[in-house]
Amino acid sequence: MTTLPGKTEKKLGLVIDLDTCVGCHACVISCKGWNTENYGAPLSDQDPYGGDPSGTFLNRVHSYEVQPLATSDKPHPAAQLIHFPKSCLHCEDAPCVTVCPTGASYKRVEDGIVLVNESDCIGCGLCAWSCPYGARELDQAEGVMKKCTLCVDRIYNENLPEVDRVPSCVRTCPAGARHFGDFADPESNVSKLTAERGGMDLMPEQGTKPVNKYLPPRPKDEMDQIDVLAPFLAPVAEEPAGFVGWLDKMLEKI
């Protein structure tokens, strides 16, 4: 068993906007690229050109179809598709840390990032088993556990321009659906977004206190309701002759 810090100085994490995520997978591949070349062992791929390709990814996007229930206003609501990016949520009560038999999994005191010290990892897989989110992947080539590092080798990296000191998934997201910041600071961009948009914990009942938050999709298909929100356009004339009369009047005003 490994101990979690009582409190971290910062609570770094991501806000992921499910209203805006178009499911393009840019974050997935940017993450794969950065983390193959940087922190720890490369993210390997097995059978990459064969019948059953599989590789290590620290971030994946799942798509879920949702069928809203019929209501009296909307008797036939259209189904919706929600794109759901998922990576380590850097939980405050991270079960993957406390379950680690070697101390390889740990939560950093200074910023709350959950990391794996690969030289101490024995690849037992307990942490992946304990993570309710399925956010850890055992690299098949290296035999060590891989997970989102929140790009710990980018966010403080003095070799990068300041503007680029964000996780690679955030830097690359074309729709701007991913935000990085310190949840310990109520004035941070991520704290404010979470407050304004009703940011949610993923599976709060698990008691993991995830740091990352998800912004829920806004209500959809409001023009498909039976009650009239906006009035229909009123006709200027029912007959072509009436239209000509209207036109003449309108042209006088130009």
Out of 70, 141, 195, 203, name the contact with other proteins by CB under 8 A: 141
CB nearer other proteins, residue 10 or residue 171: 171
CB nearer other proteins, residue 105 or residue 188: 105
Q: Is 39 exposed, middle or buried (0-12, 13-18, 19+ CB in 10 A)?
A: middle
Span 2-41, contacts to other proteins by CB under 8 A:
2-3, 19-26, 28-30, 32-34, 36-39, 41
CB nearer other proteins, residue 31 or residue 89: 31
What number of chain residues touch other proteins (CB under 8 A)?
Answer: 98
Residue 27 to residue 48: CA distance in whole angstroms = 20
| Residue 86 β-bridge partners | 60
Contact predicate 148/87, CB 8 Å: yes
Using CB under 8 A as the binding rule, whether residue 129 contacts other proteins is answered as no
Contact predicate 58/77, CB 8 Å: no
Strands (E), the chain: 12-17, 45-46, 54-55, 59-66, 80-87, 105-107, 114-116, 137-138, 145-146, 178-182, 213-215
Taking the complex as a whole, the smallest distance from the CB of residue 128 to other proteins amounts, in Å, to 19
Residue 10 to residue 108: CA distance in whole angstroms = 10
Residues in the chain: 254
Span 40-79, contacts to other proteins by CB under 8 A:
41-42, 44-55, 57, 63, 65, 67, 78-79
CB nearer other proteins, residue 2 or residue 191: 2
Cα torsion 34, 60, 164, 10: sign: negative
Span 163-202, contacts to other proteins by CB under 8 A:
163, 168, 171-177
Residue 74's alpha-carbon distances to 164, 218, 226, in angstroms, are 45, 16, 6
Taking the complex as a whole, the smallest distance from the CB of residue 169 to other proteins amounts, in Å, to 10
Task: Please give the single-letter amino acid code of residue 130.
Answer: S
CB nearer other proteins, residue 204 or residue 216: 216
CB nearer other proteins, residue 175 or residue 184: 175
Point out which span in 7-15, 88-96, 126-134, 236-244 binds other proteins (CB under 8 A). Answer: 236-244
Out of 69, 158, 162, 205, name the contact with other proteins by CB under 8 A: 158
Using CB under 8 A as the binding rule, whether residue 124 contacts other proteins is answered as no
Out of 159, 162, 187, 205, name the contact with other proteins by CB under 8 A: 159
Query: What angle is formed at CA 25 by the lines to CA 63 and CA 106, rounded to 5 degrees?
Result: 90
Structure-token pair, residue 87: 């990576």
Query: What angle is formed at CA 214 by the lines to CA 158 and CA 60, rounded to 5 degrees?
Result: 70
Point out which span in 88-96, 130-138, 183-191, 217-225 binds other proteins (CB under 8 A). Answer: 217-225
